Structures are given as C-alpha cells and as structure tokens.
Amino acid sequence: MPNKQYKNLGHTNTNRNTYHVEKGDTLIYALGGLGEVGKNMYCFEHDNEILIVDCGVLFPGDDLLGVDYVIPDYHHLIRMNKKRKVLVITHGHEDHIGGIPFLLRQVKIDAIYAPRFAKALIQKKLSEHKGLERTKIIEINGDSSINMRYFQVGFFDTIHSIPDSLGVLINTPNGRIVETGDFKFDLTPVGTNADYQKMAFIGASHCDLLMSDSTNSGVEDFSISERKVADEILEIMRRTKKRLIVATFASNVHRVSQIIEAALKCDRKVIVFGRSMENAVDIGRKMGTIHIKNNQMLSREDLAHTPDEKVCILCTGSQGEPLAALSRIANGTHRFIHVKPGDTIVFSSKPIPGNQSSVNRVVDNLFRAGATVLNKSVLNNLHTTGHASKEEQKLMMQLIEPTYFMPVHGEYKMLMQHRITAMEVGIPPENIFVCANGDILILRNHKVLQSNWRFQGDDIYVDGNDISGLSTAVLKDRRILAENGLVAVIVAIDSKANSLLAQPIILSRGFVFVKNSQGLMKEASFIVNKALQEQMKEKTTFSELKNCVRSALEPYLYKKTHRNPIVIPVIINSRQAMEEMQNMRRNKRFRKTKS
C-alpha cells in the first residue's frame, strides 16, 4: 500500500470513483511526462517488481534561472529500493534517457534494456559519470522479449526521428498494456518501417490499456514524410551556388543523415559544429546510420581553403540557443566561421513554443550579415515532426483496439485533445484517464480503476550534476532575489557580556533605493534592535539571534513594501571588527560630502 503522506489532494478525473489498492493489483503511474513535454518516466508495479519505461530530463525554460536540467522526483523508487527494478528505453532522445545518470546514483536498477542506437548514446553518457561506466545495458529490438517474475515485455518497431525506436507491450498478471513511446506513421520512412502487422496482432489478441504519445494532438491530418524533407533539402543544395549552413536538432539523426547525403550528392564536403551534433554524427557513423568517409569531411583548418560552393556546414542552434554554434556564427563570435554575403542558412526545424523570439533574433542577425535564410513555411518542406498527428493517433488506436486509454507525453492541453480523439474513435469517456504525474491507476482483472492514493510527482531542479534536490531550494532563492532583492542585517555583539555593541546596520541590494528610503531603514534598524535586546535578556545562540532578526524584520518589510526580500543576518562577535566597519562607513560618508 502506498504511503499515506502521498494521498491525492485533487484528481484530474474529478467525477470518477476512486478505489483502494488491494493485494494483487498492478499499479500504473508516471513520475514524469504528464502535463509537460519532457522527463518521460512511466512505472508499472506489481508486488516486489517495478518495470520502468524511459527515464528522461526536461530542459529548463527562461524562468528557471541557472538550472541545467529538470528531473522527476525519484522519492518513491528510492523507498522501494528492495524491490527488483528494470529500466526499458524506447529510444535515445534526451527526454527519454537524459535522467539515467541521476536515477542510477539513487536507485538500484538490475539492468537497462535499450535499442541499439539508444544503447550507444547511454554508454557515451555514462562514460562521463564516474562509477556508472559498468552499468549493465542489454540491447533489444522489435523481436526481443524480457521475462520477469510478474512482467513479460515485448516490443514492436515504430517510426520516429531517431533510429531504433520501439513501442512496448507489457503483459501483467492483471492484463495487457501497450506504451507506444514517441511515434508517427510514415509510409515512405527513412530507416526501419513500423511493424503494422505486430500492432494489428496485439489489437486482435486484446489490449486492456493503451498509453500513447500526445505531443501533436492538436495537429490535423497526417504529417509529411521524411522523404519529402530529404527531397527539399537536396533541391536547395543543388540550387545554392555558394556556402551552405544547415541547422537542425542533433537528436534528429535521420535528418542529419539526409543532410549529409544531400551534401555528398552535390559534391560538397561536410564540417560539423556543436558538441551534441559532433556526438550524434560520430555515433551515427559507428552505428552505420550515417554514411560519410573521412575524406568527405572537412577539418577546421581546411575550411578556410575550400571553395564556398564545396562546403556544407552542419551545426546546432536551430532553436536560437545563445551558446549554440549558429547563434555564435550569427553574433560574429564563432572562432572558425564568419557569415559572408551570399551564404545560405537553412533551418531544418520548427521553433519549439517559447523559442520563437530567440530564433527571430538569430535570423535577424544573419540577414544583417548579408545571408539568405530559409526556414519551415507553407512554401517548403524543410521540416516534419517525429510525433503522430491526430489522424495518426487514430490509426494507432484502431490498430491496438484498447479497452482503456491513457494519453501520455504532453502538456495538459495535448492530453485533453488526445482524450477527445479517443472518444471520436469510440472509446467511452469513462474508460479514458487523463492523469498528472504521481497519480496511480490500478489494473485489476482486466479493469482499470483510479486509485485514491498518489505518489510524489514533483520536479527536481539540477544545477551541474547535483541530484540532492538542494538546487530546488537554490532556485527559489534566485527567484526571490530576482523579484524582491536582498536585505543584509549586520549585528555586532559581545557574546561574553551577552549584549549588543551597536545599532544594527541594514544594507539593501535590489530591494529599495536606499537614498529615498532612509526612514524605512532607520525604523527597520530600530525594530531589529528592540527584538534583539529582548532576545538577549537571557543566554542565546547565534542561530536564535538570526531567527530573531528574520522574524522581526520580514513582517515589517512586507507590511511597508508588500515585498519579501531575502533577509540575511550577519552576526559579528568582535568589538574591534565592528569599530573598523563603523569607521569605514564614516569615511565613505565623508568622501561623498567632500565631493
């Protein structure tokens, strides 16, 4: 039974009956991936076994100041460390594998099962984390199977923007579940085709619950084929008479492969910039997904001596990231490339929501430098998605024919749009579960029920490689500093005499303009002084003095300004240090008066 402290305070499915977890139930819950596009992590728990599908990160937006990654809260899995746990990976994108190093440092995992390309990416990632290099990673494909005590897991090939993408079939003691992973349907794909026959067989042999990718729930019709994108890129290569710079997602390995193939057909040599792009090309060449010989690639030294019409530059930065290669090229700060009049820059991508202004800024700088910029529009097919549109989602449901449905991998709006699509193909609304991270579904004798309990589903903010969760508290302080500023209170005491040596000194940074707030500062100093004198009538500690300063000053500042700055008490237990500080302040005031 889940711990009582995680009792749900408000389900997404508010009009549904809820049930207690009973012995013999199979639990289904997400620790990430619901209400967001990123940090996908879906868990299936039965008795003493937990099957985990994917372990991703979410890349922070501009509001997460100084945060490198957002990962799920692994608290429940840590509590369940005595249970056997297996991790299955559907494909190699960061929102599905990026959290693995952080998970392995806290949770015991028996083995990781990953398709070939994802396995190579994970091994590269773990090699950068000391102590994780020897993690057991077992390669799987569409014909593989995993047999645990309670879970029997099979796979089927899907199409996505990265090689070796799999959907997952999970047989449990209470019924059958399908988790699609990220997918789309493309009748002329680049790479392996989807296994339509196996999906249809799963549907014919009965599936209880389908968990399906919701990212493009609001997009009508079928997405365009990757082959059309390849043809468009090749045509641009042929028409362009000068240097060509192409920016795309490094994770879209099929697209990277197409760009390189088009360049080679047009007798151009390729040079790659951006660490993630260099890694993707290196692994793609080793895996046989990207075909290019060493003599068809340019070194940085050769770039300046190669005719422009023989050059194709492949780089990161299609989302306007400030430190990515294309942004530095546009700003003129790149060490090896400077934009020339006549250069053609191709964005083979679509701006992620929230990145449009950053992309526009890069495009504007490129135009200013005299370049021609081409990006995705109704006039060309420079990009296609790797996620199923509404019609493709319907096709998946028609193939699998589930009794129950749970939309996953998407913001709340996307999940709700996917719910409507499921109703359109005939799934009853009472059989559709739109959940939040931490909500628990119960699979009991082929029926799916909503639990009246839930696990923690919070975000954990990672600064550097810190996984302690302290970065979450640090982020809160950064937000307060950004919005309300800081007030430092310097208090000089004589601990032997248990007395104040002087009136507290209050300094403000980013809170109020001191010159116009002398009255506020003097009154604040008086209030703190009075509270400290009361506290020091009896023996006290430094910690108690600091708490006394905060409890006296914070309510007063909020009452006067309706703002909550960070209050930092500084206790000086030295008469000499206090006298030196007061002399410095007097000298500073004297210099200002003299000037």
Checking if the pLDDT of 241 tops 60, the result is: yes
As a whole number, mean pLDDT of residues 35-39 equals 91
The two three-digit tokens of residue 217, written as one number? 């729930």
Q: Which residue in 197, 130, 142 sits closest to 168, CA to CA? A: 142
DSSP code at position 308: G
Does 384 appear as a known binding residue?
A: yes
- The pTM of the full predicted model, rounded to 2 decimals, is 0.79
Q: Is 516 exposed, middle or buried (0-12, 13-18, 19+ CB in 10 A)?
A: exposed
User: Residue 495 is encoded by which pair of tokens?
Assistant: 């601990």
Q: Inform me whether the pLDDT recorded for 471 exceeds 60.
A: no
The proportion of the chain whose per-residue pLDDT surpasses 90, expressed as a percent, equals 60
Sign of CA dihedral 269, 273, 276, 282: positive
Per-residue pLDDT tens digits for 258-286:
999 999 999 999 999 999 999 999 999 99
Which residue type occupies 35?
G
State how beta strands 402-408 and 372-374 pair. Answer: unpaired
383 is in an annotated binding site: yes
Residue 498 to residue 18: CA distance in whole angstroms = 59
Write out the DSSP string of 11-75: -SSTTS-EE---TTPEEEEEEESBSBSS--EEEEEETTEEEEE----B---TTSTT--EEEE--H
186 is in an annotated binding site: no
Extended beta strands in 261-401, E state? 269-273, 311-315, 344-347, 372-374
| Cα–Cα distance measured from residue 564 to residue 541, given in angstroms and rounded to the nearest whole number | 25
- The answer, yes or no, to whether residue 327 has pLDDT greater than 80, is yes
Check the annotation: does 308 bind a ligand: no
Helix (H, G, I), strand (E, B) or coil at 113: strand
CA angle 294–296–302, rounded 5-degree value: 90
Beta carbons of 408 and 258 less than 8 angstroms apart: no
Q: For position 329, what pLDDT does the model report?
A: 92
Q: Which residues are catalytic?
A: 213, 387
Q: Determine the residue type at 447.
A: K
- Length of the chain equals 595
Least confident of 44-48, 196-200, 543-547: 543-547
Parse the chain into domains and list their residue ranges: 19-221+385-471, 226-374, 485-594
Per the DSSP assignment, residues forming a β-bridge with 42 are 30, 53
* Chain CA centroid to CA 37, Å: 8
Instruction: Identify the H or E element spanning 88.
Output: strand 84-88
Average pLDDT score over residue span 336-364: 86
Rounded Cα distance between 214 and 148, Å, is: 29
Is 66 labeled as ligand-binding? yes
Residue 370 φ/ψ region, left for φ over 0, alpha for ψ in the -120 to 50 degree band, beta for the rest: left
Give per-residue pLDDT as tens, 483-532.
Answer: 788 999 999 888 888 888 888 989 888 887 766 788 888 899 999 999 99
Q: Tell which residue, 524, 466, 503, 498, has the closest CA to residue 582.
A: 503
pLDDT band at 577 (very low <50, low <70, confident <90, very high): low
CB 250 within 8 Å of CB 277:
yes
Q: Which residues contact 569 (CB under 8 A, 6 or more apart)?
A: 488, 489, 491, 545, 546, 549, 550
CB 162 within 8 A of CB 252: yes
91 is in an annotated binding site: yes
- The packing angle between helices 390-400 and 196-204, to 10°, is 50
What CATH code would you report for 226-374? Answer: 3.40.50.10710
CATH number assigned to the domain covering 485-594: 3.10.20.580
Asked whether residue 378 carries a pLDDT value surpassing 60, the answer given is no
251 marked ligand binding residue: yes
Q: Does domain 19-221+385-471 have CATH number 3.90.245.10?
A: no
Confidence band, pLDDT 50/70/90 cuts, at residue 427: very high
Listing from the earlier edge strand, what are the strands of the sheet with 145-147?
A: 145-147, 152-158, 165-172, 175-179, 207-213, 402-408
Q: Is 489 helix (H, G, I), strand (E, B) or coil?
A: strand
Same fold across 19-221+385-471 and 226-374? no
What mean pLDDT is predicted for residues 130-149?
A: 94
Question: Which pLDDT does position 294 carry in this prediction?
Answer: 94
Q: With 50 as the cut, is the pLDDT of residue 6 above it?
A: no
Give the pLDDT confidence score for residue 186 in this predicted structure. Answer: 92
Write out the DSSP string of 249-296.
-TT-HHHHHHHHHHHHHTT-EEEEESHHHHHHHHHHHHHTSS---GGG
